[in-house]
Amino acid sequence: MGKLVEGVWQDVWYETKSNGGKFVREDAGFRDWIRNEPGAKFQPESGRYHLYVSLACPWAHRTLIFRKLKGLEEHIDVTVVCPDMMSEGWQMGLPEPLFGHTRMHQIYTQAKPDYTGRVTVPVLWDKKHNTIVSNESSEIIRMFNSEFNELTGNNIDYYPQSERDGIDEWNAFVYPNVNNGVYRCGFATTQSAYEEAYNHLFDSLDKLDSHLSRSRYLAGSKITEADWRLFTTLIRFDAVYVGHFKCNKKRIADYPNLNGYMKELYQVPGIKETTDFYHIKRHYYFSHTGINPTQVVPKGPKLDLESPHGRGSI
């Protein structure tokens, strides 16, 4: 994984000893905003912004989903990094188009030469000021949801004012227990830390499955931001997290409501095209040599994602 320390790349894994073997995720280092208002430093303009993503990463996947759903593909171009994240972190197969860099850590030091912190994706780059706007996925999708509407004419709102309390409540539940919960299982380095995370994860999945037996989506009758934030973890669960991260009490396929819900979201037009199982499996099984030292990538499982989801009656 590695990180930058005062602008110098270091190939170091996550430190867990001081946390009793628990994995603790660092906060994002760039937190500016694109705003459609006079005087804003970062304003919505076609062709001004560039998005760096991994097709394997659930956090980056969120931004690709919103770029697709909000009609931003012709306005925000993209660089996709290689699925293999080795001694120099995320890397590009070909030099990226803005500066000719071949490593994501070079993008970070391009913006801030003395940057200290993890080098993660997604990254939203501003070509006008030659800097990173944000590397926080939850905030990038909010920008994509609302700030480019005048440019695209797409006013679909996945964070409507009337539903924000419910969306925020579900986000606050899903992030620590599910989105980050699978990583807390997979990156734990003690039995107790792993079992604590495992129990929280499956208690949370049980709660979600029960809720979705009564509600079409997390926050009501319409798809919202909360659903897409959960989806990118669910779609990776059976392919990667069950085996690689030892999240093996149940598969999503074993949860009748979660499974149908995940399939319904996958079948939304355009979403399949943002989902790449080759990159997903290759990244986790090949890059995490501390977990899978042989780097053998499993052929399976065979996933049933395009059959009827049966959610219409809820």
- Rounded distance between C-alpha atoms, residue 148 and residue 158, angstroms: 13
Could you read off the pLDDT of 247-283 as tens digits, one per residue?
A: 999 999 999 999 999 999 999 999 999 999 999 999 9
Active site residue 194: no
- Count CA atoms within 13 Å of residue 269 on its CB side: 2
Active site residue 57: yes
- Please name the residues in contact with 212: beta carbons below 8 A apart, sequence gap of 6 or more: 218, 257, 258, 260, 261, 314
CA 98: distance to chain centroid?
23
* Nearest Cα to Cα of residue 218 among 276, 273, 175: 175
pLDDT of amino acid 1 = 67
CA 152: distance to chain centroid?
24
Q: Which of 57, 82, 185, 247 is catalytic?
A: 57
- Rounded distance between C-alpha atoms, residue 179 and residue 161, angstroms: 24
DSSP label at residue 29: S
Confirm if 265 and 271 have CB atoms less than 8 A apart: yes
Give me the residues of the chain with pLDDT under 50, please. 16-17, 19, 21-25
- Rounded distance between C-alpha atoms, residue 268 and residue 22, angstroms: 36
pLDDT of amino acid 289 = 95
CATH number of 3-152: 3.40.30.10
Q: How far is CA 200 from CA 173, 185, 228, 259, 284, in A?
A: 11, 10, 21, 19, 22
Q: Which of 14, 159, 175, 183 is catalytic?
A: 183
Confirm if 262 and 235 have CB atoms less than 8 A apart: yes
The Cβ of residue 272 has, within 10 Å, a number of other Cβ atoms equal to: 12
On the question of a cis peptide bond just before residue 160, with omega within 30 degrees of 0, the verdict is no
pLDDT of amino acid 20 = 59
With 0-12 / 13-18 / 19 or more C-beta atoms within 10 angstroms meaning exposed / middle / buried, residue 12 is exposed
- Rounded distance between C-alpha atoms, residue 58 and residue 14, angstroms: 19
Domain 161-268 listed as CATH 3.40.50.720:
no
- For tokens 């694109």, the residue is 34
On the question of a cis peptide bond just before residue 301, with omega within 30 degrees of 0, the verdict is yes
pLDDT of amino acid 22 = 41
- Rounded distance between C-alpha atoms, residue 41 and residue 50, angstroms: 16
Helix residue ranges per DSSP H, 123-190: 137-146, 149-152, 164-174, 181-186
Tokens of 311: 């959610």
Could you read off the pLDDT of 80-127 as tens digits, one per residue?
A: 999 999 999 999 999 999 999 999 999 999 999 999 999 999 999 999
Is the overall model pTM greater than 0.85, yes or no?
Answer: yes
Confirm if 172 and 63 have CB atoms less than 8 A apart: no
The Cβ of residue 208 has, within 10 Å, a number of other Cβ atoms equal to: 22
* Side-by-side strand order, sheet with 117-118: 8-10, 3-5, 117-118
Query: What residue ranges do the domains of the chain occupy?
Result: 3-152, 161-268
- Please name the residues in contact with 274: beta carbons below 8 A apart, sequence gap of 6 or more: 55, 61, 64, 65, 68
